[in-house]
């Protein structure tokens, strides 16, 4: 009997195949047969895991969202391990949502395509909303932690700040996707850092007490 890990890996491979098709050709290019060919599987094996195209799309949408959040979580863990100021950590977290390289550009195409389909597909809309809520909660938690250590003013409400930070990142992602070479001579990566850091500076106005005096603080 195949191990659970084998099933998880096959489901992951199918999701990656769906995302590759969407990134390269759009949602209409996704069929069970094309997904199977892209994943290097038989049609029957794909249908064993997903009974319909809609089920495949739903799983792929969840997968790409989880992948982006996993990278963001890794940024948080690395920042925590190196005891870096929260503002710097969140700057790197927010940049994970901006299409600054091939991987993030493909992910942006996929998430935009799914978000468009979600307007008329309740199941996809539910995933879209839940993903945004999770990201917002992560940002609000970061702002709250900043209040505890002194980087954020004690009377600042974390939730409006989180909404604003996510809105800036999402809008910036769209602009960078449209103009990957940058704007008016400013490279996209440099522009992204400048915009994100400027927005974070309106929230993280203090210095974390536990980092005071540390190198790089």
Q: List, in order, residues 6 or more apart from 82 with CB less than 8 Å away.
A: none
Whether CATH 1.20.120 fits 1-51: no
Which residues pair with residue 183 across a beta bridge?
Answer: 186
In the chain, domain spans: 1-51, 55-211
Assigned CATH topology for domain 55-211: Tetracycline Repressor; domain 2 (1.10.357)
Residue 52 in tokens: 């319909």
Instruction: Give the model's pLDDT for residue 211.
Output: 59
d(CA 193, CA 55) in angstroms, rounded, equals 37
Which tens digits make up the pLDDT trace of 62-109?
999 899 989 999 988 888 777 889 999 999 999 999 999 999 999 999
Q: Residues near 158 by Cβ (< 8 Å), separated by ≥ 6? A: 139, 140, 141, 143, 144, 147, 152
Res 217 pLDDT > 60:
no
Q: What is the pTM of this model?
A: 0.85
Task: Tell me the two tokens of residue 55.
Answer: 């089920």
Give the separation between CA 108 and CA 173, rounded to whole angstroms: 8
Query: Same topology for domains 1-51 and 55-211, yes or no?
Result: no
Instruction: Give the model confidence (pLDDT) of 132-177 as tens digits.
Output: 999 999 999 999 999 998 999 999 999 999 999 999 999 999 999 9
Tokens 């400048």 correspond to what residue? 194
Residue 69: how many other CB atoms lie within 10 Å: 17
């Amino acid at each position: 009997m195949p191990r659970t890990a084998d099933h998880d890996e096959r489901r992951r491979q199918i999701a990656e195949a769906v995302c590759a098709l969407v990134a390269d050709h759009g949602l209409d290019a996704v069929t069970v047969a094309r997904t199977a060919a892209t994943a290097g599987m038989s049609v029957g094996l794909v249908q064993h895991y997903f009974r319909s195209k809609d089920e495949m799309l739903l799983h792929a949408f969840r997968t790409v969202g989880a992948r982006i959040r996993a990278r963001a979580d890794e940024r948080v863990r690395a920042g925590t391990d190196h005891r870096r100021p929260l503002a710097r950590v969140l700057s790197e977290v927010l940049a994970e949502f901006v299409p600054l390289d091939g991987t993030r550009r493909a992910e942006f195409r996929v998430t935009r395509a799914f978000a468009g389909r979600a307007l008329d597909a309740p199941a996809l809309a539910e995933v879209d909303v839940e993903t945004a809520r999770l990201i917002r909660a992560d940002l609000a938690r970061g702002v709250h932690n900043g209040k505890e250590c002194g980087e954020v003013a004690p009377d600042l409400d974390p939730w409006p700040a989180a909404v604003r930070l996510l809105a800036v990142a999402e809008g910036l992602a769209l602009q960078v996707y449209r103009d990957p070479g940058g704007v008016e001579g400013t490279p996209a990566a440099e522009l992204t850092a400048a915009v994100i850091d400027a927005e974070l500076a309106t929230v993280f106005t203090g210095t974390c007490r536990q980092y005071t005096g540390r190198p790089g603080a």
